[in-house]
Amino acid sequence: MLTSEILAVGGVSVTLSGRQILDEVSFTIGAGEFTGLIGPNGAGKTTLLRVILGLQRPTEGNVAVLGRPRSLRAQPVGYVPQKVLLDPDMPMRARDLVALGLDGNRYGLRLPSKQRGQAVAEMLHAVDAERFADARVGNLSGGEQQRVLIAHALISRPRLLLLDEPLANLDLRSGQEIVGLLARIAREQQIAVLLSAHEMNPLLPVMDRVVYLAGGRAASGPADEVVTTEVLSRLYGHHVEVLRVHGRILVVAGAAGEEAALAVSPGAEAG
C-alpha cells in the first residue's frame, strides 16, 4: 500500500447552533487507498464531507489536500452527492452528463472536440458504462446512474474522490458492483477514495481502513483495530458489543440490545 498522503484531516471540530457535530476528528488517506466513513444517522458524516469540500468552515482544526489547505478554489477533489434527482424527461444522455464534469465549472459550454470526446469515452469505459452511454440518464437504473455520476466526478482527474451514501438506494448486487468498481479505480488511478455509508459489510472485502464516527467522535485505522467492543464503546459513550459472524460484522448496543450502526443481514435497514 502506498503511503503518499492525499488527504489530511487534523483535529476538526464543528459546532452548529450550540451543538457540537464533530469533536476533534483526525485521519489521513493515502494515494490508492479506499476508506469507509462509517456511522449512524446524526454521527456527522455529511458535515465532515462538507468540511473536506470547503463548504463548511470548521470551528477548530484544518483540512489539507496534497499538503495544501482546503478551499473552494480549484483543487483535485471529485464529489458524488447523496441524492441526485434525474428527471426521466430530461433530454440528457449519460455521455452528456459525464462531459459536464469537464466544463461544468466554467462559464459557458465548450464546443465538442475530438479530445473532449475521447476523454468522455475513456471514462465511460473505466466505469463500464459504455453500453448505456446514449441513454437518457433519467431512464437508467440506480446502479447505472451511480456509474455515470462517478464518471462525471472522475473525468476531471481528481486525486481525492468523496462519495456520500452512494449505496443507500441500491440493491445488494448493484452495491457490490459499485464498491468493486471504486476499489479498482482507486488502485489503478491512485486516487484516494472516501465513501460514506451506514453499512460497513459491503466494503470489507476492499476497504483499506475505516473512519468510524459516533457522537461526533472518530476512530480511524484498519477495521480489525477500529471496529472492536472497546473502541466503539468509547465512541458511543456506552457499552456496545461487536460480533463477527461468517465474515460479517454486527454492532449491538449493550443496554437495549438494539442494533447500533451496522446491519448484519443484506435486507436490514441502517439506523
| Average pLDDT over every residue of 24-34 | 96
pLDDT in the model for residue 30: 95
**Is residue 270 situated within a structural domain?**
no
pLDDT in the model for residue 258: 42
∠ at Cα 17 (11, 18), nearest 5°? 65
Note the pLDDT tens digit of each residue in 232-271: 999 998 999 999 988 889 888 754 444 444 433 333 333 3
pLDDT at 111 over 70: no
* Residue that has been written with the C-alpha cell 468523496 in this structure: 162
State whether 104 and 136 are in the same domain. Answer: yes
pLDDT in the model for residue 104: 52
**Is residue 247 situated within a structural domain?**
no
pLDDT in the model for residue 252: 87
State whether 58 and 166 are in the same domain. Answer: yes
The pTM for the full model equals 0.86
pLDDT in the model for residue 20: 94
Closest C-alpha among 158, 88, 81, 92 to residue 123: 158
Average pLDDT, the chain: 86
State whether 57 and 91 are in the same domain. Answer: no
pLDDT at 163 over 90: yes
State whether 182 and 231 are in the same domain. Answer: yes
**Is residue 249 situated within a structural domain?**
no
pLDDT at 110 over 50: yes
- Structural domain including 131 reads 87-152
Percent of the chain with pLDDT over 70: 87
Note the pLDDT tens digit of each residue in 198-219: 889 999 999 999 999 998 999 9
Distance from C-alpha of 99 to C-alpha of 109, rounded to nearest angstrom? 10
Domain's final residue, options 152, 176, 209: 152
Which alpha helices (H) appear in 80-212, and where do they start and end? 94-103, 114-126, 142-154, 172-189
**Is residue 172 situated within a structural domain?**
yes
**Is residue 10 situated within a structural domain?**
yes
**Is residue 125 situated within a structural domain?**
yes
pLDDT in the model for residue 1: 42
pLDDT in the model for residue 224: 92
Domain's final residue, options 105, 137, 152: 152
Number of domains in the chain: 2
**Is residue 258 situated within a structural domain?**
no
Distance from C-alpha of 173 to C-alpha of 227, rounded to nearest angstrom? 25
Strand segments, DSSP code E, in the chain are 5-16, 19-30, 34-38, 60-65, 68-69, 77-80, 160-164, 192-197, 209-214, 217-221, 240-245, 248-253
Percent of the chain with pLDDT over 90: 62
Most distant CA pair in the chain: distance in Å?
62
Note the pLDDT tens digit of each residue in 33-92: 999 999 988 899 999 999 999 999 999 999 999 988 876 566 689 999 887 777 777 788
CATH number at residue 218: 3.40.50.300
Domain's final residue, options 152, 173, 201: 152
**Is residue 257 situated within a structural domain?**
no
